[in-house]
Amino acid sequence: MKILFLSYYFEPDLCAGSFRNTSLFNEILPLLTNKDEVDVVTTQPNRYNSYNVAANELETLKKNIIINRIKIPSHKKGLIGQIKSFKKFYFESLKIVSNKKYDIVYASSSRLFTAYLGARIANKKKAKLYLDIRDIFRETILDIYKNPFMKFGLNALLTPIENYTFKRANHINLISKGFISYFEKYRNTYTFFTNGIDAVFLNSKTDHKEEEEEKKIKTIFYGGNIGEGQGLDLIIPAVAQSLKGKYNFLVIGDGGAKEKLINVLVKKNIKNVKILPPVSRRQLIMEYKKADYLFLHLNKHKAFERVLPSKLFEYSTFPKPIIAGVAGYAKLFLEENMENTIIFEPCNARELLTKLNEYEYTQIHRKDFKNKFSREKINKEMAKTIISL
C-alpha cells in the first residue's frame, strides 16, 4: 500500500493544522507493514513570519517513509500573497508525485485548495481520496469579503472547485458537526473526528497553587492567530478600557489582522494590552500557567457559527476559566462539554463586561473532557479509517 499524505502545514510549524496532521501521521505509522510506503508533501515552516525554525527539505524517516518540505515564498497574510504561496506548493507537489503511484491520497485542508490538489492527484493516480476538512473555505471567504464584485468573482471561481473536490472524495472527515448541513448535498460517507488535546498539554503539570493574597490585577491571555477570523481588534480594545486597573490583556501571536489590533490600541491610547510575537509551545504553556483567564474570540460571521476552534482543546487542559466569544455550534459544544466558561456573543463588549463582573473566580480541572478529547485517542481511530480505504 502506498499513501500520499498532503498537508500544507506540518511540524515544526506552529499552527493547528500542523499539530493535527503531524499527530495523525504518527498514528498511521504503526499500522503500516514494511512493504507499505508513505510520502508526506508539505511546506517549510511558514505560518508566521515572526517565528522562524529550520526543517529539512527532504527527511527520510525510513526507506519507505519520506517527508518532502517545499519552500514557499515569504509573504504577508493577504489574499494575493497566499495565492502565490499556494501556487508554488501546488505545482511543486505535482512534480514530487509525478512518477509515483498511490493507493490512497489523504489531504487535510482548511483553505480548500489542498483538498483540490489531493482530488486532482487521486484522479490522475486512480487512488482513493480521504479528505479531512477543517474549514468551509468558500462560505467563509464569501462571508468576510463585502465587495459584491469580489464576492461574485470568488464564488464563480470556488464553486466548481469545491464541487469537483468533494464529489471526488471517497470519504470526508469533518472536524465540526456544525459542517454537516453544508456537506449533506454531496452524499458521501462522513466521520467527525474533532481536533484534540496534544500530549504536550496533557502531560504538562497544570496544578495551580492559589496565592495567599489575591492578585490586584488579573491577566486575560490569548495565544494564537491574529486574523480576520478572530476579530480581536473588534473586541479587545472595546473591553480593555473598561477593565483598566483590574485586568490586563496579554496577546501572543501573529497574523494578518495584527496591525489592525495594534492601530486601534494606539489610537485609543490603551495601555493594558500587551502584544508579543509567537513562541514555542513550551513557552506558551508557561504563559497559560501564569494567566488568570484564557481568551478566545471568533469574528461575527455566519460561517463561523459552524466551526469548532482548536484552541478550546488546548485551553481545556488548564484549570483556568475560559472566556469565549463564540456562537452556533462552538457555543453548543462548550455548553454541553466544558465547565467553567464565560460565553458571550461575538463582538458584544457589553455582554462580556457584564458576565465578567458577575463571574465568581474559580479554577476547575476538566478531567472528563481531557480523557474524552485526547488527540492521541482521536487520531488512533481516525488513522484506522484512513487505512480501511
**299 and 309 in contact (C-beta within 8 Å)?**
no
The pLDDT value recorded for residue 45 is 86
Closest to 142 in 3D by CA, of 150, 132, 134, 131? 150
Q: What is the DSSP code string of 178-230? A: GGHHHHGGG---EE-----B-HHHHTS----PPPSS--SSEEEEEEEE-STTT
Answer yes or no: do 191 and 226 share one domain.
Answer: no
Alpha helices in the chain (DSSP H): 16-28, 79-97, 113-125, 137-144, 148-168, 180-183, 199-202, 236-240, 258-267, 281-290, 311-315, 328-337, 349-358, 367-372, 375-387
Whether residues 192 and 204 share a domain: the answer is no
Instruction: Give the pLDDT confidence of 266-289 residue by residue, as tens digits.
Output: 999 999 999 999 998 889 999 999
| Domain identity same for 171 and 290 | no
Range among 9-23, 195-209, 311-325 with highest mean pLDDT value:
311-325
- Check whether residue 180 and residue 204 sit in a common domain: no
Q: What is the CATH number of the domain that holds 139?
A: 3.40.50.2000
* 166 and 211 belong to one structural domain: no
Task: Provide the domain limits for residue 263.
Answer: 200-369
Give the pLDDT confidence of 289-339 residue by residue, as tens digits.
Answer: 999 999 999 999 998 999 999 999 999 999 999 999 999 999 999 999 999
Q: Does one domain contain both 176 and 190?
A: yes
Bridge pairing between strands 58-62 and 190-191 = unpaired
Q: Are 324 and 347 in contact (CB under 8 A)?
A: no
pLDDT at res. 51:
57
Q: What is the largest CA-CA distance in the chain?
A: 67
Confidence label for 206 from pLDDT (cuts 50, 70 and 90): low
Region 195-224: mean pLDDT is 77
Q: Is residue 5 within a helix (H) or strand (E), and if so which, with residue range? A: strand 2-7
Q: Are residues 218 and 169 in the same domain?
A: no
Residue 334 near residue 352, CB atoms below 8 Å: no
Omega before 148 cis (within 30°)?
Answer: no
Mean pLDDT of the chain: 92
191 and 210 housed in the same domain: no
Asked whether residue 251 falls in the same domain as residue 280, the answer is yes
Average pLDDT score over residue span 80-107: 93
pLDDT digits (tens, 9 = 90+) for 62-91: 889 999 999 988 755 666 778 888 999 999
Looking at the structure, tell me whether residues 148 and 61 fall in a common domain. yes
CA distance 179 to 307: 7
- Note whether 176 and 238 are same-domain residues: no
Q: Are residues 289 and 215 both part of a single domain?
A: yes
Give the span between the Cα atoms of 124 and 299, in whole angstroms: 39
Q: How many domains does the chain have?
A: 2
* Distance, CA of 157 to CA of 33 (rounded, Å): 41
